[in-house]
Amino acid sequence: MAGRAYSGAPMNTGLKRTHLYEWHVKHGDIVEFAGWEMPVRFSDIREEHMAVREAVGIFDTTHMARFSISGPDAVDFLQTVTTNNVRKLRINMGHYSTCLNERGGVRDDLMLYRVGEHEFIWVTNASNASKIWGHLQEHSSGFDVHLEDWSRRVVMIAVQGPNALELLSRMANTDVRSLPRFSCSRMTLFGQDCYLCRTGYTGEAGGEILLLDTPFNDEGRRKAIEFWERILSTGEDLGARPCGLGSRDSTRLEAGFVLYGHELDEDTSPIEARIPYAVKLKVEPHYIGYDVVYRHKKEGAIRKTRIGFVMVDRGIPRQGYRLLSDGNEIGVVTSGGLSPILGKGIGMGYVSPGSVDEGDTIEVDIKGRIRRAEARKWPFYDPQRYGEARNQ
């Protein structure tokens, strides 16, 4: 694969780098993202997108934060700072959840994995790492828990696509297809100690690998790069290719997944974001923001609601563009882009409750040009042809 130069302005040397940075800078286009120097692409973003949909894409997700929470009070503590039911989370399983402020707004969304009776791994967004670490420390007072930041000593790599489970089985030297979705199993991959989590952010089958014992030093970086290159070589006949932030965003958008800073923020509740599966009620002790979420879910007392849409007219929607109905402003676009599957612009946004139904025609103000779109449910692709559900 030919080497690539930096794209855009020179990088700020104060930015963080993952263990795989030296490989990325030789093979990809580097951009600033959430305080990190990360590859936006290694080839064409659309080609990487289709590799995820039709073969297997490999993502470096080490920029995300990983925290260990352990101790006798770990369950009670996590029950107060996350919205899903931690008590029902079985060992070696994970679930999607949110962490809220007192107003019911989302401080971050997260994956929580239970890896022992009193031991959990919390994976959170890079942009919110410091905020959430401080939040956990602040609210752990009075609980017998131990918090550790694993972010700089555990590499994280996502393997996603219809051929992902075959590739992961080769890496494990055993068939991993029987592992249920959302499981988190400690196993050996390429002879290395790892957690294999059957989760992802693309809508496709696959897993997220936590490569343990990889400190951010020369030895840890060497180990990470060798592991990364071996994934690519082992999956070469399966169509494996490295993928950057561009295709990570386009695949999650096609799947209808929320992104912090777009669909989620501290002024938006999980109910307004239409991610009710991340929220459980009647959970004791009540989590921070419980009363607001209860009103939103039980009484429908929301101020806005998330919708999806597909462009009818030519045009690509972008964050911040106005959404209209019959010329009247009803909301705003939070995420938008081109769907390689549909060959059309797609997007998500917030509108006034009850203002839009599925199938309705709405308009998007694209730099002063009014373009028609149709309100659609997500995922935006045909789940019989793409996504993990096609195999079920």
What would the mean pLDDT of 219-243 be, rounded to a whole number? Answer: 98
Geometric angle at alpha carbon 203, from 200 and 206, rounded to 5°:
45
Mean pLDDT of the chain, nearest integer: 95
For the cut 90, the answer to whether the pLDDT of residue 83 exceeds it is yes
pLDDT at 284: 86
Joined together, the tokens standing for residue 167 give 């590739």
For the cut 60, the answer to whether the pLDDT of residue 12 exceeds it is no
Length of the chain, in residues: 392
Encode pLDDT of 346-378 as tens digits.
999 999 999 999 999 999 999 999 999 999 999
pLDDT at 8: 36
Q: Which CATH class is domain 65-149?
A: alpha beta
Of the chain, the end-to-end C-alpha distance in Å amounts to 35
What would the mean pLDDT of 83-111 be, rounded to a whole number? Answer: 98
What would the mean pLDDT of 6-30 be, rounded to a whole number? Answer: 80
Whole-model pTM?
A: 0.95
pLDDT at 188: 98
Domain boundaries, the chain: 16-64+152-253, 65-149, 304-381
What fold does the segment set 16-64+152-253 form as a domain?
Gyrase A; domain 2 (3.30.1360)
The type of residue at 262 is H
Encode pLDDT of 286-309 as tens digits.
999 999 999 999 999 999 999 999
Q: Which CATH class is domain 304-381?
A: mainly beta
Encode pLDDT of 317-336 as tens digits.
999 999 999 999 999 999 99
pLDDT band at 392 (very low <50, low <70, confident <90, very high): low
Indicate if 65-149 has the same CATH topology as 16-64+152-253: no
CA–CA separation, 276 and 298 (whole Å): 11
What would the mean pLDDT of 131-153 be, rounded to a whole number? Answer: 98
Encode pLDDT of 253-263 as tens digits.
999 999 999 99
Is 306 in contact with 100 (CB distance < 8 Å)? no
Percent of the chain with pLDDT over 70: 96
pLDDT at 283: 84
pLDDT at 132: 98
Distance set, CA 21 to CA 4, 158, 207, 277 (Å) = 13, 16, 21, 35
Encode pLDDT of 177-213 as tens digits.
999 999 999 999 999 999 999 999 999 999 999 999 9
Q: In what order do the strands lie in the sheet with 16-17?
A: 16-17, 36-41, 29-33
For the cut 50, the answer to whether the pLDDT of residue 5 exceeds it is no
Contacts of 391 (CB under 8 A, 6+ apart): 162, 205
For the cut 50, the answer to whether the pLDDT of residue 311 exceeds it is yes
CA–CA separation, 222 and 329 (whole Å): 53
- Closest listed residue to residue 280, CA positions, set 266, 269, 292, 290: 290
DSSP collapsed to 3 states, the chain: CCCCCCCCCCCCCCCEECCCHHHHHHHCEEEEECCEEEEEECCCHHHHHHHHHHCEEEEECCCCEEEEEECCCHHHHHHHHCCCCHHHCCCCEEEEEEEECCCCCEEEEEEEEEEECCEEEEEECHHHHHHHHHHHHHHCCCCCCEEEECCCCCEEEEEECCCHHHHHHHHHCCCCCCCCCCEEEEEEECCEEEEEECCCCCCCCEEEEEECCCCCCHHHHHHHHHHHHHHHHHCHHHCEEEECHHHHHHHHHHHCCCCECCCECCCCCCCCCCCHHHCCCCCCCCCCCHHHHHHHHHHCCCCCEEEEEEECCCCCCCCCCEEEECCEEEEEEEEEEEECCCCEEEEEEEECCCCCCCCCEEEEEECCEEEEEEEECCCCCCCCCCCHHHHC
Question: Please, what is the angle between helix 129-139 and helix 74-81, to 10°?
Answer: 120
